[in-house]
Structure 1
Amino acid sequence: MNDATEDQEPSVVPFSSPIGKTPEFKEPFDLARRLTHAVWVYDIDNCRNIMANAAALRLWKAETEAELAARDMSIDMSTTVAKRLKQYQSGFIENDTTFKELWTLYPHEEPVSVDVVYTGYRLPDGRIAMLCEARGIAEDAPETLRSAEALLHTDVMISLFTKTGRELYMNPAARNTWRSEKTHLPDVFVNSSDYDSILSELELRGEARRVLQIKSDAGLAWHDMSFKNCRDAATGGPATLVTAIDVTELKHARDRASYLADKDQTTDCYNRAFFQRHLEFLGSQQRNLPIALLYLDLDRFKQTNDKYGHEAGDRLLVVVSERIKACLTEADLLARVGGDEFVILLSGTDIPAQVRGRVDQIQKTVCQPFFYKNNKIEVTTSIGVSVIPAHDSHCAKYVRHADVALYESKRLGRNRSSIYTEQMGRIADQRLQAEAELASAFEHGEFELHVQPCVDLCSGKVISAEALARWRHPERGLLMPVDFIGVCEETGLIDVLDHFVLEQSCELVKRWLKSGLKIGLSLNVSPRQFLDDGFIATLSSHAQHPDLKNDSLQLEITESVLAEDQDRVAERLRSITALGFKIAVDDFGTGYSNLAYISKFPISCIKIDKSFIDTLPTSVPVIRLIKRLSEEIGAQTVAEGIEDFTALGTVFEIGCHCIQGNYFSPPVPIADFQKAVHLIETQLEADIIANLGLKR
């Protein structure tokens, strides 16, 4: 009420007569009006004093009952007082309870502290109001009144219990949590062992503190609770003072934060951070049994993302994680540690004997087709395995062992599993050393561009050249691509190499054009570079340079690229040719190509793979077929790898007049290229034309 606040927790007095019975007097409030002490009736629902005798009017500083009834007690009423009044009303209805307590009234904002007895009173319309009887003006000191006021308004739950757990007192905040007539302390806790633990600590130290799950009238909650031994001020008997703060929201927030810190949001598996902590924990334990560590990733996962979108990729990850979980026991652990990478810890009584069977089971289960929006996506996975011996505290190194074994599975062709061996470790160390050397080579400018001429037998001229990267190693001399391309692809340094070759090739063509040398240049584009989202933008920036004639540059892609997402490849090829660059298919005939579809690609050149030249004359029918296909799509045919005159004569007879190979010239440094061109064209004039029967 705006004119009243409660000052102390009530002592509950038995309700002597049911609220359903009406006192026997002619007018409903005649008897109350004749009493000498203050009596009034408060309508809890409408927040009005609907009756007051003369003493009550003096107490409330009102001239008449009508004036008092006109006051809206809800104005400025605190939420705590409003809740307390509703508690009284519930007590009247449910338990026929009478309350006696100290309240401070504020008639015209002047405080008056009164000892009041509250009784339920049924109104003629059936609602329950509150009959208030003032038993006297309280003479308590200000400190007492203020402490009582604080007990009313605080959100801290304060209760007093006997040593057997019987309730003696509850402030309003506590009463709002346990609305039952009496609360038995042992029954509050969800786990009975919590109460036993508290009693033991109270006996030992006299106080205790816990964050515990409790049973409230609103359901399960978490409370930060303090317990202290004390005495009941009314009887002098031993008692327990309990203070509690509801920390349910904080506990849930912390649990959620802990969940977010430990779990992967996409798959609901544990994440890398949790896995690393778990490995540290395993290392600190005295384990009597070995554990198998599996490193698993999905083959060609990026292609699924690129073709169907990240939503499909995320859904695939969820499905894969569910498939893995179906193969695990409660003792096993699964974590997602990267984009499509998972680690699994397998436990068992005989892991060395069981590991192969369990790995095969996981791989077989994971590698089932995945369907997304009516699209069937084939799923394969590669797995690397290492075994952590019992009692070994250095668990982290076995993650690398499993990663090394995973690399071996990839190297063997994917969709395989490999168990780590020391030989794998030695090879991996060598690969790491090579990677470090390569990074240093790029930093110190040890790579250079060499070019190999391509000859047109009909014209007797060098018509183009192919740009090829070479590594001038400070100790091992000039290294060929076979010595570094593989490591570049494995480590991601292929991106650096691709950028180097493209930049150097563009600069070379600019110099040739300025010097009047009209020779085209081809450069190899790795599948990774070709499919990179930023590749077209990079080409576009070069195409806008005024000193570069774009059709002088030809980009060579491997036949395997054409077997990828063909719609996407075709769109990318059209974007490249729209910038003015030409497209050649390198090493043609060694991969898979849909011959009906390849005609739709904007291809200007097909280069016959060297393997067909090496197997002449057996491969003549294949070379004839490739030559005919080139003619059908209007592309030039280049025979690569010509090492001798016999091979030269054979391909010339088939109709391949464009030749590239060491017969004419190996790849040479840029500075030696024009000299090589002069020698080749001189040789053609001297004897090649005569020997091949060409006439001008």
Structure 2
Amino acid sequence: MRNEKIADGSAVAARSIAQASPEQSTEAAVPVNRLKTAVWIYDVDNARITHANAAACELWQAENEEDLRRRDLGTDMSPTVSKRLKQYQLDFIERDATFSEMWTLYPNGRPTSIMVVYRGYRLPDGRMAMQCEAAGDAENEPDNLRSAEALLHTDVMIALHEAGGAPVYLNPAARNAATHALQTIAEKFVDPADHDRLMHELEALGEYRMVAKVNTGAGPRWHDLTVKQCSDAVTGNPAILVTAIDVSELKIARDKARYLADRDQLTGCYNRSYLQQYMSTLGRYQSKHCALLCFDVDRFKQINDRLGHEMGDVVLKEIAARVNASIRRTDTFVRLGGDEFVVVFEDVSSAADLEAKLEKLLKIIAEPITHDATRVSATVSMGVATFVPDNAHFTAVMREADIALYTSKQAGRNRVTFFSAEMGALAKARDLVEVELKRAIENREFTLHFQPRFCFKTGTVISVEALVRWEHPKRGLIMPAEFISICEETGMIEDLGQLILEMACMKAISLHQEGRDIQISLNISPRQFEDNRLLKSLETFSRHPDFPRGKVELEITENVLIGDHELIAKKLEAISDMGYQIAIDDFGTGYSNLSYISRFPLNCLKIDQSFIAQLPKSGPIISLILTLAEQINATIVAEGVETREHFEWLRNHKCDQAQGYFLSHPVDAEELPHVIETLNSGAWTGSQ
């Protein structure tokens, strides 16, 4: 808006109208009524004209001043016009402003466009009103009238500023958004750097568009600004035209969407997608040594199974909070998924310094976590790969950190391991084994060896445990220690378990057909127990006409029994009803919750070999297990019997069965009959 000066005579005349009392108004207005210029006083607060000369009454198509006073001009007034008038009132109060603007009036509903000069006028009661003077008819070109009306009502903020930044015109939307009427371009910006960038680009290009955070009367907002160099049409001086659209809601929505796209919803950490983007750009601004830490929670599945997924989430969130509080702002913390996390450390000063930080972090994470009276101590295993961003590839760095993490787990968990070239070579060999294992399962390159279980009461072999071996086409017979863990980690254990189950059941059927009263036991891994195929396969074999009911025993570990006890019990009962026996392998070292002893259909407890190895020191514990088994009518088998002393102690304490190298190493199917015959002969004196 540009300032205009009003002729003193008109101002005095208008003042005389405003100050006249009702009794004096006619007389006082006589000189004013002779003016051809329409002059009236508008009460902004009450939306009424309080005083008007004859020309004003004619303009407003009123019979007289009293008729005009009775009109409520706020009835059909748009919100935009109402806001505009309030802006005028505020500017009159703050800086005694004067405005000249084209307005379209609607006397009796008919549009009349005129130029009007406005200035403030203080009413007798102290309120600020508006003195209005018609300065002349506007050009009645439709496009001119409509553009002026659009400029008044649009929500687009349009402002003209001097080259130095001071405002010379603000449309209603721009004035309503401004913190004050004289807000400069520089004062608009929350961040001065945005103003500097704008002016630099404007100087170079003549125009510029940007989205920036600006100061408004409603507080900081986000505006989409289009700024152009131009000339003031009144003075001809250089000017700056600023067009702005409020995009705060859109900006907030986009920022939230971007946040959600980049963040893990549970912990608030960055997610895998963000990590990939971050690593791809890291080399552009970071050339010093960096490190990538990969860690996960030790035995996290047990936490979920024992304490529930809610507690599992609590553990993840607490670990994330502790890590966030321990790393620098320049470091990047990511949750890959599940219980897997990554931290990227920028600008690592030395491996020793980083190792010290990580050891400290291990201790912080291991501190107990309490939630709703539940207390849990969780540890993590860490793998670290150092790299220089310019020369590293994200996939390769992640692979190295994973290899180091795997090494930490193999070494006992709750530790930090830094990647080395030797680890890389071992991992490469392991990858080769993994590929060969997949082929081996497809080609059925596996066989079973059998280790006898000796019964102290009968003095004979009444059961054998089936143990898998890999018949590699080039390397020969490979023991389980080299491939079982890989199968478990990759999920191939489910397919391998199915193959072993088939071979063991077919062997049991074969022994039954030969008339041999021998039980076969085989291990069922936790993953295989959860596999939906298990029950279907067991049912298929149990329907074989020569299937020996009670002569196939499935060995499960105590950890299999963690979780939904009702569901597990139903599954075990279904297996038992098919004619299979259920044994707990490595008893005493796992879950060790005796509540399942009476709840589940268990036929056998196999004492873990670690207790047997410590005889006679571990005698009291073994005696306790023997008593427990007697009470629940379960068979007790001692594993790892390697010496005559072990054997005799177990015989003297009424253990049911023994299994171990003292009796026999595992042997193939061809040698098994001879071993059984030797053990049953009575002349056997032990293999040691």
- Class of the TM-score when normalised by the shorter of the 2 chains: 0.7 to 0.9
Please say if 1:547 is aligned against 2:543.
yes
Partner of 2:355: 356
Structure 2 equivalent of residue 579 of structure 1: 574
What secondary structure, in the 3-state scheme, does the structure 1 residue paired with 2:116 have?
strand
Cα deviation digits, residues 412-448 of structure 1 (max 9, x gap): 1111222222111111111111112222333444456
- CA shift, 1:112, in A, is 1.7
Question: 1:592-607 maps to which residues of 2 (within 5 A)?
Answer: 600=598, 602=600, 603-607=602-606
Residues 155 and 503 (structure 1), Cα distance of their counterparts in 2 relative to 1, 3 Å cut: farther
- 341-350 vs 547-556, which deviates more? 547-556
Secondary structure of the corresponding residue to residue 219 of structure 1? coil
Distance, in Å, in 1 between the alignment partners of 2:502 and 2:79 is 74
Contact 2:460 2:680 in 1 (8 A): no
Q: 1:313 to 1:621 in 2, by over 3 A?
A: closer
Distance verdict in 2 for CA 1:654–1:148, change over 3 Å: same
Partner AA of 2:306 in structure 1 = K
Q: Are 1:24 and 2:20 counterparts?
A: yes
1:408: Cα distance to partner?
1.0
Q: Report if the CA contact (8 A) 2:177-2:217 is conserved.
A: yes
Which residue matches 2:85?
A: 85
Cα deviation for residue 177 of structure 1 reads 1.4
Aligned twin of 2:341: 342
CA shift for structure 1 position 494: 2.4
Offset, 1:524:
1.7
- How far is 1:147 from its partner? 1.8
Closer, same or farther: CA 257–420 of 1 in aligned 2, 3 Å: same
By how many angstroms is 1:667 displaced?
A: 6.3
Deviations 1:337-390 (A, max 9, x none): 332233333455741342332222222222222222222211222222222258
SS of residue in 1 equivalent to 2:355: helix
Alpha-carbon RMSD: 4.6
Is the CA contact (8 Å cut-off) linking 1:295 and 1:384 kept in structure 2? yes
Instruction: Give the distance between the partners of 1:451 and 1:76, measured in 2 at CA.
Output: 98
Amino acid across the alignment from 2:20: E
Report Cα offsets for 1:102-151 as digits up to 9, x if no partner. Answer: 11123454322122234446667765554544344323422221221221
Please name the residue that 2:414 is paired with: 415
1:78 partner amino acid: S
Alignment-derived partner of residue 4 in structure 1: none
Distance 1:55 1:442, change over 3 A: farther
Other-structure match for 2:243 = 243
- CA displacement, residues 515-568 of structure 1 (integer Å, 9 cap, x when unaligned): 9999765432224455x5x77x96499669993898665431235667xx6xx5
What 5-or-longer segments of structure 1 have no aligned partner? 1-8
Aligned mates of 2:285, 2:653 — CA distance in 1: 73
Shift of 1:94: 3.9
Of 333-342 and 386-395, more deviation after overlay is shown by 386-395
Question: For the structure 1 residues 185 and 482, does the alpha-carbon distance in structure 2 shift closer, same or farther, using more than 3 Å as the test?
Answer: closer
Query: Is residue 436 of structure 2 the alignment partner of residue 440 of structure 1?
Result: no
Separation (CA, whole Å) in 2 of partners of 1:266 and 1:389 = 31
**Are 1:113 and 2:113 an aligned pair?**
yes
The corresponding residue for 2:397 is 398
Quickly say closer, same or farther: Cα 1:668–1:240, change in 2 above 3 A.
same
> Which letter does structure 2 place at the counterpart of 1:144?
N
Q: SS of the counterpart of 1:234?
A: coil
- Cα distance in 1 for residues equivalent to 2:315 and 2:485: 29
Deviation at 1:605, TM superposition (A): 0.8
Q: TM-score, normalised to structure 1's length? A: 0.79
Post-superposition offset of 1:52: 5.9
- Match in the other structure for 2:320: 321
Q: Name the counterpart of 1:3.
A: none
Larger mean CA deviation between 131-140 and 233-242 belongs to: 131-140
Question: Does the CA contact (< 8 Å) of 1:279 and 1:396 recur in 2?
Answer: no
Residue matched to 2:310: 311
Partner of 1:209: 209
Which whole-Å deviations, capped at 9, do the CAs of 1:54-95 have from their partners, x for residues lacking one? 544544445677876776655554332232122233334444
Q: Do the aligned residues in 2 keep the contact of 1:383 with 1:416 (CA within 8 Å)?
A: yes
Cα deviation, residue 485, structure 1: 0.8
Matched, 1:256 2:256: yes
- For 2:83, the aligned partner's letter is K
Native 8 Å contact 2:637 2:658 kept in 1: yes
Number of aligned pairs? 667
Whole-Å separation in 2 of the counterparts to 1:124 and 1:462: 119
Structure 2 match to 1:221 = 221
Distance across 2 between alignment mates of 1:135 and 1:318: 70
| Structure 1 pair 256–230 and aligned structure 2 pair: CA distance change class (3 A) | same
Residue 53 (structure 1) shift: 5.7
Q: Does 1:163 align with 2:163?
A: yes
Contact 2:102 2:116 in 1 (8 A): yes
* 1:18-41 Cα shifts (integer Å, max 9, x gaps): 999951355475355862544555
3-state SS in 1 of match to 2:342: strand
Corresponding position of 2:298: 299
The equivalent residue for 1:378 is 377
Tell me the secondary structure at the aligned position of residue 351 of structure 2: helix
Summarize deviations over 1:270-324 as a string: whole Å, max 9, x none: 333333333333434572x423332222212232233333333333333323333
Partner of 1:6: none
Structure 1 residues 151 and 461: CA distance shift in structure 2, 3 A: same
Task: Tell me by how many angstroms 1:615 deviates.
Answer: 9.2
- CA gap of 1:623–1:381, structure 2 versus 1, over 3 A, is closer
Q: Matched residue of 1:217: which SS?
A: coil
Structure 1 pair 280/595, CA: closer, same or farther in 2 (3 Å)? closer
Q: Deviation string for 1:476-532 (max 9, x for gaps)?
A: 4554433321211233322333455557767888999999999765432224455x5
**Which residue number in structure 1 is paired with residue 230 of structure 2?**
230
Q: State the shift of 1:616 in Å.
A: 9.2
TM-score by length of 2: 0.80
Conservation of the 8 A alpha-carbon contact between 1:11 and 1:101: no
Q: Which moved more, 1:485-494 or 1:416-425?
A: 485-494
CA distance in 2, matches of 1:124, 1:541: 100
Q: Which residue of structure 2 aligns with residue 557 of structure 1?
A: 556
How far apart in 2 are the matches of 1:513 and 1:400?
50
Amino acid paired to 1:320: I
Could you tell me whether the CA contact under 8 Å between 2:467 and 2:666 is conserved in 1?
no
Show the counterpart of 2:281: 281
Instruction: Report the Cα offset of residue 648 of structure 1.
Output: 8.1
Instruction: Verify: 1:495 aligned to 2:491, yes or no.
Output: no
Unaligned runs of 5+ in 2: none
Query: Percent of aligned pairs with the same residue?
Result: 43
Amino acid corresponding to residue 23 of structure 1 in structure 2: Q
- CA positional deviation for 1:254: 3.5
User: Contact 1:540/1:579 (CA < 8 Å) preserved in 2?
Assistant: no
1:270 and 1:63 map into 2 onto residues whose CA distance is 73
Supply the distance in 1 between the matched residues of 2:645 and 2:318 (Cα, whole angstroms): 58
**Which residue identity does 2:190 align to in structure 1?**
V
